[in-house]
Amino acid sequence: MVTKLHDIPGNFVDRVPLESHAAATATEKRLLWIAPFAVKIVSIVGYFDAASTGDTTNSTNINLINGGTDGIGTTEIGNIDYATGTNIAIGTAQSFYAPASPVAYAAGTHIIVQFEKVSSGLLIGRGTFVITYQAN
């Protein structure tokens, strides 16, 4: 019998909006999501409202970090480095995390998004991250 949300089998999907990151902004971290219960994250995909052309000299790397349940962890779980040849197209899926075998995370785990500035940086437009997960 299903008595709690985490008892429901199958995937859950959360959509998380993010404000843009200006090229001139220093490296910054923002809270992306907190696991509502013990989960296995299936995937994290980003969609952006503005195009950006990757540049090896002046770029921004978007890193996903397992912040742990206290929000201060530093383990990178996924990333895309927007160097030359790696671009953002409006509304096109950008896969940041999709392990072959979903990894377990404790209830309350913070997933952090880090915009890592390289040289003069790169404008990253507003976006939405889609987190697909299962109860663990």
pLDDT in the model for residue 9: 72
Q: Which helix (H) or strand (E) holds 12?
A: strand 12-18
Q: What are 75-120's pLDDT values in tens digits? A: 999 999 999 999 999 999 999 999 999 999 999 999 999 999 999 9
Could you give the percent of the chain with pLDDT greater than 90?
A: 86
**Residue range of the domain that includes 35:** 26-135
pTM of the complete model: 0.91
Using pLDDT thresholds of 50, 70 and 90, give the confidence band for residue 10.
confident
Residue 112 domain flag: yes
Residue 3 domain flag: no
d(CA 61, CA 116): 5
CA 45 to chain CA centroid, nearest Å: 7
d(CA 117, CA 127): 18
Number of domains the chain contains: 1
**Of residues 70, 132, 65, the one with CA closest to residue 107:** 70
Residue 44 domain flag: yes
Residue 20 domain flag: no
Residue 13 domain flag: no
Please name the amino acid found at residue 79: N
Q: Is the pLDDT of residue 31 over 90?
A: yes
d(CA 88, CA 102): 26
Q: What is the CATH number of the domain that holds 121?
A: 2.60.120
Q: Is the pLDDT of residue 1 over 60?
A: no
Could you give the percent of the chain with pLDDT greater than 70?
A: 94
Tokens describing residue 44: 């994290």
pLDDT in the model for residue 16: 97
Residue 4 domain flag: no
Place of tokens 């999501």: 33
Q: Which helix (H) or strand (E) holds 109?
A: none
